[in-house]
């Protein structure tokens, strides 16, 4: 359950808001209060608070909301139990004045509470230190006791769903505009942030169904990209789009694979072929994948491994876009002889000696494309 709690000094306006909510509020519990109206209740609370002048922020205010993903819809009585038991865990007793109201004007039913931290004997029973964190932990504990999903568990599920849909959308997007549109179709809103130095520098993803404009100032919906995944960064997405656009541009303007590779090299990209088995000179070698990356970003102390980026090889052509799978397949059908070979295992696990040996092997391999390959390439271009 989403929740919030803070200590502050209040006026009668806070109690008036709690008891109104555009006419939909319903007071479901109060304690040690004789008055039935907000002004009278405020005067009663203030009188008790003045019994301990050492505490300036004598009120504890906050809310707890019931999301759809909690597992089942709670009755008002069950919802009240969750709120009161959580408040008890942070120090609220039967001697503290409080008022709890259910609000129904927003998409998610929620309870607002106002508690006097000073009990009727003048003792402060609710400590202010980390009260927001402690209340959140109390709510989670009560939810677990009642077999309900906690806000953390719900968050994990949402982040997993966001990452899955983002990964799918990236495969069919060539720029951020397309990515935003495709995620919108999936029910997600992407909010980008930027700065003068880096351009687009951050991303927040929000589920459309979670948007709640009435509570936006209290609870900001969605998660930052860094909260969704510690492996996928905005720089990786920008590099991905750069590679995809370069491949498409070069594919249209070259006549054969040798030109394709040379043209990408001129643009500053590395092209590597990964064969299914050990490379055999002067024979047809079945291609498993093609890796392309910006040369300046590859190698040690450069851009680190990401969700789809390999720091030694770049991006797997067959995985970043389904349309590139045909490109890789056509390469495998041709008798491509000796473009940089990658062994099937991950280069990140190789020793320095193995990498050096591989580089030496590359220098000794022939580098040409059979005439029949050029003809197949031309046929492919005509059919596009």
- Each residue of 251-282: pLDDT tens digit? 888 877 788 888 999 999 998 888 878 877 77
**61 Cβ contact list (under 8 Å, min separation 6):** 5, 6, 7, 8, 10, 14, 112, 113, 114, 115
Task: Evaluate whether 205 touches 190 at the Cβ level (below 8 Å).
Answer: yes
Phi-psi region of 258 (alpha: psi -120 to 50; beta: other; left: phi over 0): alpha
Task: Quickly list DSSP for 170-239.
Answer: HHT-SSHHHHHHHHHHTTEEEEEEEETTTEEEEEEEEEGGG--GGGTTTS--SEEHHHH-SS--HHHHHH
Strands of the sheet with 223-224, listed across from one edge: 188-195, 199-207, 223-224
Q: Are strands 269-275 and 341-342 parallel, antiparallel or unpaired?
A: parallel
Cα–Cα distance measured from residue 47 to residue 35, given in angstroms and rounded to the nearest whole number:
13
0.85 cut: is pTM over it?
Answer: no
Least confident of 11-25, 85-99, 300-314, 344-358: 344-358
Cα–Cα distance measured from residue 364 to residue 358, given in angstroms and rounded to the nearest whole number:
10
Q: How many Å is the Cα radius of gyration of the chain?
A: 31
Confidence band (pLDDT; 50, 70, 90) for 130?
very high
What pairs with residue 243 in β-bridges? none
Phi, psi of 135 (to 5 degrees): -70, -40
CA dihedral 251, 252, 254, 258 (to 10 degrees): 10
Cα–Cα distance measured from residue 354 to residue 377, given in angstroms and rounded to the nearest whole number:
34
Q: Which of 185-189, 197-201, 299-303 has the highest mean pLDDT?
A: 185-189
pLDDT at 142 over 90: yes
* Separation in Å, CA 239 to CA 175, 203, 233, 259: 10, 15, 10, 23
pLDDT at 127 over 90: yes
Between residues 83 and 325, which one has the greater pLDDT? 83
Task: Evaluate whether 136 touches 62 at the Cβ level (below 8 Å).
Answer: no
CB atoms within 10 A of CB 80: 16
Between residues 5 and 354, which one has the greater pLDDT? 5
Cα–Cα distance measured from residue 10 to residue 48, given in angstroms and rounded to the nearest whole number:
14
pLDDT digits (tens, 9 = 90+) for 10-56: 998 988 888 776 677 788 899 999 998 889 999 999 999 999 999 99
Task: Evaluate whether 97 touches 31 at the Cβ level (below 8 Å).
Answer: yes
CB atoms within 10 A of CB 133: 10
pLDDT at 187 over 80: yes
Cα–Cα distance measured from residue 279 to residue 281, given in angstroms and rounded to the nearest whole number:
7
Q: Which of 287, 190, 297, 159 is nearest to 239 (CA)?
A: 297
pLDDT digits (tens, 9 = 90+) for 281-336: 777 777 788 889 888 888 777 778 899 998 888 998 888 888 776 666 665 555 44
pLDDT at 349 over 50: no
pLDDT on residue 213: 59
Cα–Cα distance measured from residue 256 to residue 113, given in angstroms and rounded to the nearest whole number:
71
CA dihedral 31, 107, 149, 142 (to 10 degrees): -10
Q: Which of 345, 342, 334 is nearest to 371 (CA)?
A: 334
The predicted model gives 186-197 an average pLDDT of 92
* Separation in Å, CA 198 to CA 191, 234, 236, 244, 324: 16, 10, 13, 20, 29
Between residues 217 and 331, which one has the greater pLDDT? 331
């Amino acid at each position: 359950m989403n929740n919030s709690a803070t200590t502050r000094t209040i006026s009668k306006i806070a109690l008036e808001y709690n008891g109104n909510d555009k006419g939909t509020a319903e007071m479901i519990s109060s304690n040690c209060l004789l008055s039935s109206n907000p002004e009278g209740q405020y005067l009663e609370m203030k009188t008790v608070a003045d019994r301990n002048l050492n505490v300036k922020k004598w009120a504890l205010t906050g809310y707890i909301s019931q999301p759809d993903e909690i597992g089942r819809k709670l009755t008002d009585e069950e919802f009240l139990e969750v709120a009161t038991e959580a408040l008890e865990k942070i120090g609220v007793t039967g001697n503290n004045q409080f008022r709890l109201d259910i609000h129904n004007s927003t998409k998610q039913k929620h309870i607002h509470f106002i508690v006097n931290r000073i009990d009727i004997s003048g003792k402060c029973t609710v400590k202010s230190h980390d009260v927001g964190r402690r209340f959140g932990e109390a709510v989670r504990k009560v939810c677990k006791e009642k077999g309900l999903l906690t806000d953390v568990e719900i968050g994990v599920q949402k982040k997993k769903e966001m990452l899955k849909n983002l990964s799918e959308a990236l495969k069919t997007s060539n720029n951020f505009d397309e990515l935003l549109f495709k995620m919108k179709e999936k029910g997600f809103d992407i909010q980008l942030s930027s700065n003068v130095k880096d351009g687009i520098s951050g991303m927040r993803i929000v589920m459309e169904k979670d948007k709640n404009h009435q509570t936006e100032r209290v609870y900001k919906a969605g998660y930052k990209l860094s909260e969704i995944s510690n492996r996928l960064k905005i720089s990786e997405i920008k590099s991905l789009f750069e590679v995809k656009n370069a491949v498409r541009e070069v594919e249209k303007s070259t006549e054969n694979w040798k030109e394709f590779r040379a043209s990408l090299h001129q643009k500053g990209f590395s092209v590597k072929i990964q064969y299914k088995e050990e490379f055999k000179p002067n024979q047809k070698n079945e291609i498993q994948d093609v890796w392309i990356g910006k040369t300046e970003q590859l190698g040690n102390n450069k851009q680190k491994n990401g969700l789809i980026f390999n720091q030694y090889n770049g991006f797997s052509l067959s995985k970043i876009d389904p349309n590139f799978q045909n490109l890789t397949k056509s390469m495998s059908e041709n008798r491509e002889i000796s473009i940089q070979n990658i062994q099937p295992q991950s280069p990140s696990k190789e020793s320095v000696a193995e990498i050096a040996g591989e580089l030496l092997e590359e220098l000794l391999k022939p580098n040409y494309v059979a005439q029949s390959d050029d003809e197949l390439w031309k046929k492919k271009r005509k059919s596009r």
